[in-house]
Structure 1
Amino acid sequence: MNKKLFISALCAMNAALCFSQTPVYLDRNAKIEDRVEDALSRMTLEEKVALSHAQSKFSTAGVARLGIPELWMSDGPHGVRAEINWNDWGYANHTNDSVTAFPALTALAATWNPEMSALYGKAIGEEALYREKDVLLGPGVNIYRSPLNGRNFEYMGEDPCLAGTMVVPYVRELQKNGVAACVKHFALNNQEQWRGTVDVVLSDRALYEIYLPAFRKAVVDGGAWSVMGSYNKIWGQYCCHNSRLLNDILRGEWGFKGCVITDWGGAHDTREAALNGLEIEMGTYTNGLTSESKFGYNNYYLADGYLEMIKKGEVPMDVVNEKARRILRLIFRTAMNTGKPFGSLCTPEHYAAAKKIGDESVVLLKNTGILPLSTDFNGTILVVGENATRRLTDGGGSSELKPKDYISPLAALQEVYGEGRVKYAKGYTSGRAMYEHADVIPQNVSDSLVNEALQMAKSADVVIFIGGLNKNAWQDCESTDRKSYNLPYGQDALIEKLLAINPKVIIANISGNAYAMPWVKKVPAILHASYLGTMGGASMADVISGKVNPSGKLPYSIPAKLEDCGANSFGKPAFPGVESSTDDVVAIPGSVLNGGRNPKVEYKEDILVGYRWHDTKKIPALYPFGHGLSYTAFAYGKPSLSAKTIADGEAVKVAVSVTNTGKVDGSEVVQLYIGDDKASVLRPLKELKGFKKLALKSGETAQAEFTITVDDLKFFDEKAHEWTAEEGKFTIYIGSSSTDIRGKAQLAYKK
């Protein structure tokens, strides 16, 4: 008998034993809202309170006597995490919890294709359902603010339009399986250092224009059933029970009717948790990763302390009932959803989905003609770099996965070109994937690996370097931020030495972040891939060989140097912040992540995040947002507008023709940006407002069409607390990237 059938049987038995004289009947055919009210009317106060806090590391209680099952959650968003023990952070070591590892969300964003997002949500939802999970803790849509943030790989880039457009299909398709999306981390979780205590200071314009839109799209357009609060503070109050964030914005302005769930260890105060819009408290008194708690679940803020406050009359019963109502609604949509399918795990269809998403995500940054490296190539290929063989689903924090299969780039390249012609030298080593700790590599070990690679490079016809970042601490990893913008483990020096011996070095790095490229002018080709999961090696090999024509576009800018990034241009006060000199230390018990003396970070770049900063400040990026080359070429026609003026309530159509002028089929992402020519407030030179991915055969022409409304012209007016557009002229930019503009048009707004 599976877990949920067992629970249902147990619940029914308990109900019969405890209340045999009063039969309990919940009409499973009634509408959800009627079922919620029916169940609520039958529950005791203690049962309502029990819904609001964890009963294990990843579950919350149901109501056994009413036949209402518990909720089971799992980390995501790149796959369903392996089973964790009931009451500690150790893995349960089951033999049936291996999954498909899907590409990281940075990779999904790099596809610039909402169809890939829908495919992703459907497939991961089926896997979560098969694993009997009710809530998948993802996707993440925090904005990429600095390339040093260790958790950027879990998010969808630097632009709210891109992230917001991509998150909606993921959420919708996931929830069609009866598995709730838990969109995270709400909000402003843009660094890992001091993540549990840092107080974020920013303008309302930055909040509403940059950091909230993707969450709003997930909730309003995607219909997300739950949201995860972030660890940090805003306006001096923790996000998991922040009155303005949860009551005023999420519920009041957006009409959210789902559940707010803490990040593990994100609650800090019973009164605030009770009154400020939090439904479910998870993982309190741990760091959410490794540390344990000596306290029981009844000691949680929304447990005994909450019950005591209610009994004293300090929490109104309408607040208590509303919490329970929202949790019951979530249970009826998921655990008690009798119409959901059975799900599936590690199927050919899921592997094909992971492969397709990975194929479309690889970004070709530079190519002087060396790529594609034809399958007819009869020379010797030397692959150098640890990431060619390392399983990059290990480490990284809560997104760590246990894939059933994993195709490495080296194995895939040997399959394509023949094992005898593809040699391998590791070149460097990074040690074990660990949280908050990193192995120290002896110098003699590093020297030996470098010397081996250099000796082998002398006789190779082509060198493919597959390095980048990994999921170790202080790389792309939850709990720690990167210490340097350069590649770790001596990779830059190794690349320079390889180039001195053999100039035919193709860079095919794997990373969830931007990084410095001091060797950029010397290499003939650069591929940029994120963590691609189970089928990642196959995607990379197929792009290198030309079987797949690259069509990925950067979801974030790659600055030439760290100081060129807006968040990092102001020094430590703007990233990662500074500590107070007082002794009033606030930290989560048991956590080494959250120490510090009341750290505070100020978003001094304000609304100028990413390409907005590079454009407006005239600081060119090394590779701009939206950039990505192809093995073919695309010619753009002149953009046309259906009208030259727009007024409130009207829409203007924009169309541009695109022709594949090359010899191979390919896909192009047509990007639409809008700039306000003259404004009374600071505005970016231009902002992304739409994009279309066109698949074109050689010689084929197609139209990219967009619809512009007055909403696309607005900025957030802080004084009036509303979105507004000013009369005047706006420039419509059509581009292949944020800097490769292929056409412009003028549009006037008149009120």
Structure 2
Amino acid sequence: MKKITIMMSFLMPVMAQAQTTPVYLDESKNIEQRIDDALSRMTLDEKIAVIHAQSKFSSPGVKRLGFPDLWTDDGPHGVRPDVLWDEWEQAGQTNDSCVAFPALTCLAATWNPQLARLYGESLAEEALYRNKNVMLGPGVNIYRTPLGGRNFEYMGEDPWLASRMVVPYVQGLQSKGVAACVKHYALNNDEEYRHQVNVVISDRALHEIYLPAFKAAVQEGGAWSIMGAYNLYQGVHNCHNATMLNKILKKDWGFDGVVISDWGGCHDTEEAIKNGLDLEFGSWTDGLTMGATNAYDNYYMALPYKKLIQEGKYTTKELDEKVRRVLRLFYRTTMNRQKPYGFLCSESHYEAALKIAQEGIVLLKNDDNLLPLNINKTKKILVVGENAIKMMTVGGGSSSLKAQKEILPLDGISARFGGVDYARGYVGDTVQSYNGVKVGRSLYETRTQAELTAEAVEKAKQADVVIFVGGLNKSDHQDCEGHDRQGYDLPYAQNEVIEAILKVNPRLVYVNISGNGAALPWINKVPVVVQAWFIGSEAGEAIASVLAGDVNPSGKLPFTWYASLNQCGAHATGSYPGTWREDYKIIDEEYKEGIYVGYRYTDANGLKPLFAFGHGLSYTTFKMGKAVADKQQMAADGTISFTVPVTNTGSCAGSETVQLYISAVKSKIDRPVKELKAFQKVYLQPGETQNVTLTINADALSYYDEATSQWRADAGKYEAHLGTASNKLSTKCTFRLE
């Protein structure tokens, strides 16, 4: 007894100390020294524990050493409501509402990196209040086809635009001590059969189109975590893919953070051990519905991994490297004593959401200057369309939110313009809740489509203007995780209703709510088209402010809006959706269009899309002068700048985005007609002129040389084209690379 008493008197103070100030927390040591210290103290069981989940959204810390649990949560548009520990059902809390920020397509459409920083900081403050350490976002997968169900979560078709927008988002988020988890790395361009799609792609297309935004997030943004994708590359799932994770991400790019599996994205213990996965979530589930209860010890990187070590098949070499990365994430997040306090649903967050929404709305067409609506002359306004009364923060998959408020388009328009009439027009989705969150206004409807159309037509006869709020929604096979769209047309009976209204009232403003383009067969008859995205809590307020002219629209399309799918390379080449192998376990999808994605494809084939990449109108007008280069040639390691005067020639203040595209006049290899390489948004008062200077370096002239697996810029003649959209480039400069 005396021996036991002595042992307990020795152990108990150490345990008590671990619960308050761990012995290894010497602030004089840098993080790497503290990681070494902690790693040396951990048992095998503790090491295994920290590399896999313990609940749907958390992984364990090391309680004995004072490391708190790590909590993740879905983004990237807001902090997802909490679910039960071991189930996907809502936890039923009353303090887990949030501000819903605009979807990332809207953020990309602002072409304003400063707003991306504001977005990240605001989201981080909400996450801090909710004690979330890792936000699962942002997403930067490339908009390859407008049928992609998850495109609304991403930043468009162009790797340069996505790169410039993701870096400040990541920096803003992590400046508050909350880790970004940039997703879905990589080539996650299909939602249909996403676990089975094996992407077959050239190295050049991979590096020039699909990887640059991830690379920028890592090397410039300093991302602390990356989420592996569900799909396969080179026949191996991307959550444990040696080429993607070990070679490109960790070796070539120097990534020192944590690779987190998408939920259910891990498939094999030994592949996970060897091929770069650090932290496993969601195995034994499909990532969406129920899975085996309390399966966490059976995860691929749990007991099966421990058994292989105990049997001598593996040492702890790979395990220690994974744990080292996880501990580094702990010190950056849960153990960071410098983190600020968080705020939930603050005034500043709503202001940020509203500003991003307003700047991201794109005025695509405005014949006869029908917009902005003159409130004094427009006495009778009719709003038509289900999307005017449907919450878009609810549904769509993992980005579904429990917003504290969502101003619906009808409510925002009614508040701004006064007495507004409404007609449903069509029925799309009458589901009343998603994952435990109710949609608010009842969407039940008993009338037939003929009755709904007749009502809209009759009311349109009496209206000064009709605002049709349509587009897509967050239902399956639309803008939604898990499935792609089944066609390019607008769903339900929208086209029928619009055509019927136009016969009695041509003054129609079409407001499209979506994260994707769609076929608009009546485009030549409708005077106004506004792309309003999924814009979150302040949706109705933002839309109304643009329609009324309180805000001058300045958004630009982050993708090419095709007239038909035949204008999209993935469809024109027959690449999408791929071919099942004979065993029906894998779909091989060869990206036959290669580097020719979006405007690169339409340029190369002389196609005129419905709306070009970078297109967006304003309520004022701008004139761009002649661009001047600061020198005539660029040394291989130097830079070159182009300056162009931009004048607001209209009657109201507004913003214009100067876009710079580079063309190789002669090239040894096949190259796009032009590629975006710089842009800047400038705000101008009426009559004001500003000189806008855009600077590039040799990287802007480079292509990925497959023969050497290196980036290469060939000497020769180049052109810099400057303008306000990819199809409106009014001035150019010629220069040489020696």
Superimposed CA distance per residue, residues 450-479 of structure 1 (whole angstroms, 9 cap, x where no aligned partner):
222112111111100001001011100000
> Superposed, which structure 2 residues align to 1:86-125 within 5 Å?
86-125=85-124
Matched residue, 2:380 = 380
> Superposed, which structure 2 residues align to 1:601-612 within 5 Å?
601-612=589-600
Is the CA contact (8 Å cut-off) linking 2:78 and 2:100 kept in structure 1?
yes
The 1-side partners of 2:375 and 2:181 are apart by 43
RMSD of the TM alignment (CA)?
Answer: 1.9
Q: Residue type of the partner of 1:178?
A: G
The 2-side partners of 1:371 and 1:442 are apart by 32
Distance 1:285 1:503, change over 3 A: same
Find the residue that maps to 1:730 and give its secondary structure: strand
Q: Residue type of the partner of 1:68?
A: F
Q: Residue type of the partner of 2:532?
A: A
Matched residue, 1:41 = 40
The Cα of 1:444 is off from its aligned counterpart by 5.5
Q: Which runs of 5+ in 2 are unaligned?
A: 1-10, 436-442
Matched residue, 1:469 = 472
The Cα of 1:314 is off from its aligned counterpart by 2.5
Is the CA contact (8 Å cut-off) linking 2:181 and 2:226 kept in structure 1?
yes
The Cα of 1:740 is off from its aligned counterpart by 0.6
Is the CA contact (8 Å cut-off) linking 1:670 and 1:693 kept in structure 2?
yes
Matched residue, 1:4 = none
Find the residue that maps to 1:723 and give its secondary structure: strand
The Cα of 1:110 is off from its aligned counterpart by 0.1
The Cα of 1:294 is off from its aligned counterpart by 4.8
> Superposed, which structure 2 residues align to 1:523-602 within 5 Å?
523-571=526-574, 574-582=575-583, 596-602=584-590
Distance 1:43 1:563, change over 3 A: same
The Cα of 1:548 is off from its aligned counterpart by 0.3
Distance 1:714 1:25, change over 3 A: closer
Is the CA contact (8 Å cut-off) linking 2:720 and 2:733 kept in structure 1?
yes
Matched residue, 1:255 = 254
The 2-side partners of 1:270 and 1:380 are apart by 65
Is the CA contact (8 Å cut-off) linking 1:467 and 1:509 kept in structure 2?
yes
Matched residue, 2:429 = 431
**Which one of the candidate residues 612, 625, 646 is aligned to 2:613?**
625
The Cα of 1:15 is off from its aligned counterpart by 6.0
Q: Residue type of the partner of 2:416?
A: V
**Which one of the candidate residues 481, 486, 510 is aligned to 1:483?**
486
Is the CA contact (8 Å cut-off) linking 2:156 and 2:559 kept in structure 1?
yes
Superimposed CA distance per residue, residues 329-370 of structure 1 (whole angstroms, 9 cap, x where no aligned partner):
101111111110111011110000000001100100011111
Deviates more, 1:737-746 or 1:253-262: 737-746
> Superposed, which structure 2 residues align to 1:383-422 within 5 Å?
383-418=383-418, 420=419, 422=420
The 2-side partners of 1:187 and 1:435 are apart by 28
Matched residue, 1:638 = 626
The 2-side partners of 1:504 and 1:34 are apart by 68
Find the residue that maps to 1:467 and give its secondary structure: strand
Q: Residue type of the partner of 1:334?
A: T
Matched residue, 1:240 = 239
The Cα of 1:377 is off from its aligned counterpart by 3.0
Matched residue, 1:359 = 358
The Cα of 1:315 is off from its aligned counterpart by 2.5
Matched residue, 1:712 = 700
1:185 and 2:188 correspond? no
The Cα of 1:648 is off from its aligned counterpart by 1.2
Is the CA contact (8 Å cut-off) linking 2:18 and 2:66 kept in structure 1?
no
Distance 1:342 1:629, change over 3 A: same
Distance 1:29 1:68, change over 3 A: farther
Find the residue that maps to 2:106 and give its secondary structure: helix
Superimposed CA distance per residue, residues 215-250 of structure 1 (whole angstroms, 9 cap, x where no aligned partner):
000000000000000000000001000001000000
The 2-side partners of 1:441 and 1:209 are apart by 47
Distance 1:38 1:745, change over 3 A: same
The 2-side partners of 1:445 and 1:118 are apart by 47
Find the residue that maps to 1:736 and give its secondary structure: strand
The Cα of 1:26 is off from its aligned counterpart by 2.7
Matched residue, 2:440 = none
The 2-side partners of 1:55 and 1:128 are apart by 20
The 2-side partners of 1:137 and 1:328 are apart by 18
Q: Residue type of the partner of 2:114?
A: E
Is the CA contact (8 Å cut-off) linking 1:14 and 1:64 kept in structure 2?
no
> Superposed, which structure 2 residues align to 1:188-337 within 5 Å?
188-294=187-293, 296-337=295-336
Find the residue that maps to 2:283 and give its secondary structure: coil
The 2-side partners of 1:365 and 1:607 are apart by 26
The Cα of 1:612 is off from its aligned counterpart by 0.3
The Cα of 1:93 is off from its aligned counterpart by 1.4
Distance 1:16 1:701, change over 3 A: same
Superimposed CA distance per residue, residues 108-141 of structure 1 (whole angstroms, 9 cap, x where no aligned partner):
0000000110110010010001100000000000
The 2-side partners of 1:66 and 1:382 are apart by 64
The Cα of 1:715 is off from its aligned counterpart by 0.4
Is the CA contact (8 Å cut-off) linking 1:430 and 1:441 kept in structure 2?
no
Distance 1:339 1:674, change over 3 A: same
Is the CA contact (8 Å cut-off) linking 1:15 and 1:67 kept in structure 2?
no
Is the CA contact (8 Å cut-off) linking 2:86 and 2:294 kept in structure 1?
no
Matched residue, 2:726 = 738
Matched residue, 2:5 = none
The Cα of 1:27 is off from its aligned counterpart by 2.3
The Cα of 1:378 is off from its aligned counterpart by 3.9
The 2-side partners of 1:743 and 1:676 are apart by 16
Superimposed CA distance per residue, residues 127-186 of structure 1 (whole angstroms, 9 cap, x where no aligned partner):
001100000000000000000000000000000000000000000010011100000000
Distance 1:14 1:528, change over 3 A: farther
> Superposed, which structure 2 residues align to 1:661-676 within 5 Å?
661-676=649-664
The Cα of 1:598 is off from its aligned counterpart by 1.2
Matched residue, 1:592 = none
Is the CA contact (8 Å cut-off) linking 1:218 and 1:224 kept in structure 2?
yes
Is the CA contact (8 Å cut-off) linking 1:435 and 1:473 kept in structure 2?
no
The 1-side partners of 2:22 and 2:354 are apart by 52
Q: Residue type of the partner of 2:407?
A: I
**Which one of the candidate residues 494, 501, 504 is aligned to 2:504?**
501
Q: Residue type of the partner of 2:383?
A: V
Q: Residue type of the partner of 1:506?
A: V
1:458 and 2:444 correspond? no
The 2-side partners of 1:157 and 1:24 are apart by 48
Distance 1:266 1:360, change over 3 A: same
The 1-side partners of 2:665 and 2:92 are apart by 60
The 2-side partners of 1:180 and 1:98 are apart by 21
Is the CA contact (8 Å cut-off) linking 1:664 and 1:697 kept in structure 2?
yes
Find the residue that maps to 2:714 and give its secondary structure: coil
Is the CA contact (8 Å cut-off) linking 1:435 and 1:479 kept in structure 2?
no
Is the CA contact (8 Å cut-off) linking 1:365 and 1:623 kept in structure 2?
yes
Matched residue, 1:647 = 635
Find the residue that maps to 2:383 and give its secondary structure: strand
The Cα of 1:25 is off from its aligned counterpart by 4.3
Is the CA contact (8 Å cut-off) linking 1:18 and 1:65 kept in structure 2?
no
The Cα of 1:375 is off from its aligned counterpart by 2.6
Matched residue, 2:518 = 515
The Cα of 1:442 is off from its aligned counterpart by 9.3
The 2-side partners of 1:725 and 1:527 are apart by 40
Q: Residue type of the partner of 1:680?
A: K
The Cα of 1:597 is off from its aligned counterpart by 2.9
Is the CA contact (8 Å cut-off) linking 1:15 and 1:65 kept in structure 2?
no
The Cα of 1:33 is off from its aligned counterpart by 1.4
Find the residue that maps to 2:725 and give its secondary structure: coil
The Cα of 1:387 is off from its aligned counterpart by 1.0
Find the residue that maps to 1:244 and give its secondary structure: helix
The Cα of 1:446 is off from its aligned counterpart by 2.4
The Cα of 1:416 is off from its aligned counterpart by 1.0
The Cα of 1:19 is off from its aligned counterpart by 8.6
The 2-side partners of 1:555 and 1:13 are apart by 60
Find the residue that maps to 2:580 and give its secondary structure: coil
The Cα of 1:728 is off from its aligned counterpart by 1.4
